[in-house]
Amino acid sequence: MTYQDKLFKQITRVEDFAFDERVAGVFDDMVARSVPFYNEIQRIQADLIMDFLPDEAGVVCDLGCSTGTTLAHLTAHPRCPSQALFIGLDNSAPMLAKAQVKLAAQAAKGQVSLRLADLADLTDLPPCNVVILNWALQFVRPIDRQGLLNTVYQALRPGGLLLLSEKILAQDPLLNRVYIDHYLHFKTSQSGYSDTENQRKREALENVLIPYRLDENMALLERAGFAHRDTYFQWFNFVCMMAVKR
């Protein structure tokens, strides 16, 4: 097996993790090896999202869309409405450049628009049927998270869906340790990362990826106004939540 992501193998000094050119270059390999069940999550989300789009149209916003993998799954879905509009936002220009190439190479249904934007400054979004926040809210400063979810809630149409996926902390410190150990074991045994690579990436992500507990994430959703909230997938410290606006 050859892996593209060798970023933490090659470095001599650990710096704060950033979604820069180097990360963008290997991101698809990195994320598929770092988020357990990444591909399966993409598949179930695409199916779910189609149920929330009207027959011929609909608007979907993917916040922190990275290299456009989720948008590519959606626009390739057999049930994707031909007039749907897909908007991808990210504050990393190198990630969006990769997304542009990926989506252009595909016979996509619907229309895709990619925009450079900081989620922390987002004060409005177009009216949408679905908003996706996959592994992105955890990178937004805690102080800005509620405001962002309030903006999402305002933008969603009644009956609209938010998918929020996050790395979380377990409430119980002992179980938190178990989850982290199990995750590190996954990264070595399933994904081929060495202990040194894992240790360096952990250091680089410290204070950059700030995980909340599940109850803290759920409280953000409740305060934003979402009447319907649940988890639909969990693998130890990786959780997918959904919320629907009444």
Ligand X SMILES: C[S@@+](CC[C@H](N)C(=O)[O-])C[C@H]1O[C@@H](n2cnc3c(N)ncnc32)[C@H](O)[C@@H]1O
Ligand Y SMILES: O=C(O)C(=O)C[C@]1(C(=O)O)C=C[C@H](O)C=C1
119: partner contacted, choices ligand X, ligand Y, none (Cβ within 5-8 A by kind): ligand X
> Residue holding tokens 């290299």?
67
Q: What is the crossing angle of helices 38-50 and 21-34, to 10°? A: 90
For ligand Y, the closer of residues 35 and 243 by Cβ is: 35
For ligand X, the closer of residues 172 and 206 by Cβ is: 206
95: partner contacted, choices ligand Y, ligand X, none (Cβ within 5-8 A by kind): ligand X
* Contact stretch for ligand X (CB under 6 A) within 77-85, 99-107, 131-139, 184-192: 131-139
- Considering only residues 90, 103, 130, 237, which one is a binding residue for ligand X as defined by CB under 6 A? 90
Does 129 interact with ligand X (rule: CB under 6 A)? no
Does 31 interact with ligand Y (rule: CB under 6 A)? yes
Question: Please, is 41 exposed, middle or buried when counting C-beta atoms within 10 Å of its C-beta (0-12, 13-18, 19+)?
Answer: buried
**C-alpha 113: how far from its chain's center?**
18
Does 95 interact with ligand X (rule: CB under 6 A)? yes
CA–CA separation, 152 and 147 (whole Å): 9
Is residue 72 a contact partner of residue 39, using CB atoms and an 8 Å limit? Answer: no
> Binding site: what residues are annotated?
38, 64-66, 90-91, 118-119, 134, 202
Sign of CA pseudo-dihedral 186, 191, 194, 198: negative
Is residue 71 a contact partner of residue 99, using CB atoms and an 8 Å limit? Answer: yes
Percent helix, strand and coil across the chain, each to the nearest 5: 45, 20, 35
Does 48 interact with ligand X (rule: CB under 6 A)? no
For ligand Y, the closer of residues 38 and 226 by Cβ is: 38
Does 151 interact with ligand X (rule: CB under 6 A)? no
- Considering only residues 8, 52, 86, 135, which one is a binding residue for ligand Y as defined by CB under 6 A? 135
Question: Looking at beta carbons, which residue is closest to ligand Y?
Answer: 34
For ligand Y, the closer of residues 28 and 108 by Cβ is: 28
Closest distance between ligand Y and the C-beta of residue 24, in Å?
11
**Length of the chain in terms of residues written:** 246
Query: Residue 240: how many CB atoms within 10 A of its CB?
Result: 21
According to CB under 6 A, which residues from 13 to 42 bind ligand X?
19, 31
Closest distance between ligand Y and the C-beta of residue 53, in Å?
26
> Containing H/E element for 59?
strand 59-63
Closest distance between ligand X and the C-beta of residue 65, in Å?
6
CA–CA separation, 81 and 205 (whole Å): 38
DSSP three-state, residue 138: helix
Closest distance between ligand X and the C-beta of residue 44, in Å?
13
**Residues making contact with ligand Y (CB under 6 A):** 30-31, 34-35, 135, 167, 201, 205, 209
